[in-house]
Structure 1
């Protein structure tokens, strides 16, 4: 889309109304008083007001038309809002911002629709303000459109809004969503003033793109560069999420102590994050201590603790906690049942899992999704009930994904079940484009059966299909987080590490 930069130097938009004129409107026309309400109105209540405004000629009043448009947009009827906007004789800036925002936040319309309205606004000589661009940038989200995002960036640079923290933060968020990390970092580096919202947006954006170590480094940078910036709940939650993915228990303890120092540790969201953080860093006892100290627990608190117990193999304890949650009157949701079924899977509680899965819809009104079916397949596979697992997949109400089929195929390798393994690989080949990992597992099953000709053929297929992203892992040692990637020898201690791993491998072979 071509935006008209030549139009943006028009006269500044006059204020859409004054308090005096709006109050006079209501005094003279009390039937329009509901327009002054800050609460949203339904279309049923709004239509009589619109009819009165049209008949009385008040719809030509910028204040009246703008308020009706705003309330129509709040009623989530975008088609009606667009129709209404086209009948406003002279839309003011408030009206333009309102319809741009409605288009940007609606999943029904292409992002170009908001930019078309923006382009029309420029051609009519209306000048955008600092509220226009955050709405415009949100329009790039569904679907993500980096080109439109950069077009908006160009306009706000020309208009001088690149120094507004509110606009800059939304621009940075948008670049993160589009995966343009370099542009997001550049916007961040060019900010002369960084408040806690800016720092938090940077940390959260890095986390959402899997750059957990970088997110933790930004948090440390924030603490060192500007002592006047106190982290809030959102800052701590985002940073704890990064640390949880790094698995560093040492950093987890430091973040916990810092949360206490700045006075946010008692917040329920922070404590929920602490439970998840400690559980993922191997500190399940510390996670339990945080949970037991909580006077206020929401669904996330219970789910995080159940999930933590599940990942550490404490299946019976997780089920007991689930029972306590129900007794406490907390309603479970889809995520809770994933945690509970995972607990059963890790602990081999087959009968309990079957009972819980069967009660999801009947008792708790939660419809099983593909992840719940995946938990059940994983449960049967771990328990060696491969026929049950395959039959369960065949009776699923939707197509299985690679994760579900991969769990069963891995179990086929462990239990040396070539028959079901071949069936699973055929299923994978019919639904998945990339299946190198599946072929490797099948070749190992053939190797266990000494079928070397099949091993050669399958591994050749696996080499042709080897297109999955390289594995990545992190480990914290003495306060420093080290990052590793498959076939990456850039680490300064790479030679020593590989020698040590080779030695450990030989030692394991001797023990076996």
Structure 2
């Protein structure tokens, strides 16, 4: 008996049906499957429900299958059973034609084929993809009618589609009726409220969850990042770690985005070290986010290093490094990489072109920028968008080519928006063309009446030309329209904590020491011949309205905090939400020379590296 059990398998050949099922089990692709299908015709197994169901399932649902072939097979079956219908519904629910799944279900009911509890989740997935609320409600009624309403996966699928389609009221009613809520149920509700923008309700539900998995944390953290609540996202990430939940690549990418927004380099570096320590695979998305984080946190050299170590560089990674170099004023390097990208056979997309044109604008590379702009349509068949025209207007304007910039605005194929006029107005301010600036300023008040910077900029121009009554009128109009100015805010990230400062701010726990340090720095600056640039103080450069006093600008307080909180020689990194003013720019250059300290300052549009009395922007910002 023992010898029989151990006998070689080939002494007991399988019957055709078993052999076919075995082959289908190990099938690796469509070519092999077609051969199996042909053999089934020869043996008559195409009429056997079990093997034909397995074949159909492979074609319709496997990654190496072929949905079109599955459809042909399905049409050849005389009386498909529920399993076969489900296979086709599932296949179409995962395809680019999810509406076909709903159509199949209609036919399924027409032929009186009873659905089961596996039918509805696939149908609801199609509804979610199509945001088909009416069809969802009909399927909901079918679920209740057929008695599957108490099945957890059907209920969770309903919750998901209601939440995703924006019908949160229906979702919450269903959620309240569920007796046995699992993590999937809670996640659907949290995700639904988060994506609708109701962060307060999303956070409330998240806090009530009895158990949270990585998807729970991903939903709430991603929502915070998307809503601009980067500090909240970092706080949640720390809670996630304390809860012992291992983050995946998606969460890490979101948190790196939060670090990039805050300029929190130390935390970004920690996350990078965390990834390396756990030998996690840096996929294209995570690699791109790392490059973006380092660039936006001021460490462009590390951004370049990460970029060079990405094995498969797609368009997003190339775009991230080109844009990163651009905002650091390293335009020539950005354009060299842009050319290298093209040589490798990777076609730039619309965002890549924006990065390349920005690089040319910030570095004054006029000829190169015009060549790139002209190549978009001619070489790559990419129609320039209004953002690309804005980059070229900025490029020409910065270079003092105001006439050419104005001509481009007047001849562009779309109506100029506020960004276009704003770029031209900024050029007028830089090159002191106040007459043109007045005309554009008045246009901007009509085009963008809710933007405080438009009023301030126009008022500045009137004040510069001595038309104080007009300046006062513009300021009064801004007040009458209820337009509020965004206050200047600078931050420094230190030991995982983001310290924020407003102009004249005394709320920081070390305010006394900060102001004392700035007094010492200011005195040293005066000894070196520094004179406060009162023009900006009176006239406000862009949104930077006159702060409490020129020596209490948020940038200066942040620099002073850096001095008292770091060792001599340490790089001080400051993030500003508005454009750095001329006085702070001048002061930072002199501080870098006097104290031999590098200061990296990120303002609203770009980076400034202050070193040895010079700035990387070459005073061209």
TM-score scaled by length of structure 1:
0.81
Preserved CA contact (<8 Å) 1:130 1:167: no
Q: 1:501 to 1:389 in 2, by over 3 A?
A: farther
Post-superposition offset of 1:225? 3.2
| Inter-CA distance 161–485: structure 2 relative to 1 (3 Å threshold) | farther
Kindly report which structure 2 residues correspond to 1:128-139, keeping only aligned pairs within 5 A, or say none: 128-134=151-157, 136-139=159-162
User: 1:41: which partner in 2?
Assistant: 67
SS in 2 for 1:482: strand
Residue 148 of structure 2 corresponds to 126
Structure 1 Cα separation of the partners of residues 297 and 281 of structure 2:
18
Name which of 244, 261, 273 aligns with 2:260: 244
The Cα offsets for residues 454-503 of structure 1, whole Å up to 9 and x where unpaired, read as 11211111222343684565421344212456898765456876888899
Of the three residues 340, 344, 348, the one matched with 1:324 is 340
Secondary structure, counterpart of 2:439 in structure 1? helix
**Residue 172 of structure 1 pairs with residue 190 of structure 2:** yes
Deviation at 1:305, TM superposition (A): 1.4
Q: Partner residue of 1:7?
A: none
Q: Aligned pair 1:189/2:207, yes or no?
A: yes
Q: Which residue of 1 aligns with 2:612?
A: none
Change (3 A) 1:72 1:230: closer
Alignment of 1:33-182 (within 5 A): 35-36=56-57, 37=59, 38=61, 39=65, 41-42=67-68, 46=71, 49-50=74-75, 56=78, 58=79, 61-74=81-94, 76-77=96-97, 81-87=101-107, 88=109, 89=112, 90-106=114-130, 109=132, 111-122=133-144, 125-127=147-149, 128-134=151-157, 136-141=159-164, 145=166, 148-162=167-181, 164-182=182-200
Q: Are 2:482 and 1:460 aligned?
A: no
What secondary structure is seen at the aligned counterpart in 2 of 1:510?
coil
Aligned length: 476
- Residues in 1 aligned to 2:439 and 2:55: alpha-carbon distance in whole angstroms: 66
Aligned partner of residue 122 in structure 1, secondary structure:
helix
**Cα root mean square deviation, aligned:** 3.5
Q: 1:364/1:501 Cα in 2 relative to 1: closer, same or farther (>3 Å)?
A: farther
1:153-196 residue CA offsets vs partner (Å, 9 max, x unmatched): 3323422353x223322322222111222222233323333333
Shift of residue 247, structure 1, vs aligned partner: 0.4
Query: Is residue 27 from structure 1 mapped to residue 48 from structure 2 by the alignment?
Result: yes
Structure 1 CA distance for aligned equivalents of residues 185 and 46 of structure 2: 34
2:230 counterpart residue number:
212
Q: Deviations over 1:183-226 (max 9, x none)?
A: 22233323333333333333222211111112112222222332
Contact 2:354 2:387 in 1 (8 A): yes
Q: Residues 381 and 411 of structure 1 are in contact (CA less than 8 Å); yes or no, is this contact kept in structure 2?
A: yes
* Stretch of structure 1 that moved more, 344-353 or 300-309: 300-309
Q: Is the 8 A contact 1:240 1:252 kept in 2?
A: yes
Once residues 285 and 388 of structure 1 are traced to their aligned partners in structure 2, the CA distance between those partners, rounded to angstroms, is 36
- Is contact 2:360–2:369 with CA below 8 Å preserved after alignment? yes
Task: Find the aligned partners of 1:425 and 1:161 in 2 and give their Cα distance.
Answer: 61
| Whole-Å separation in 2 of the counterparts to 1:63 and 1:106 | 24
> Counterpart of 1:350?
366
2:425, 2:440 within 8 Å by CA — same for their partners in 1? yes
Change (3 A) 1:249 1:83: closer
Deviation track 1:252-298 (CA, whole Å, cap 9, x = no partner) reads 22222222112127544433322211111111122222233444433
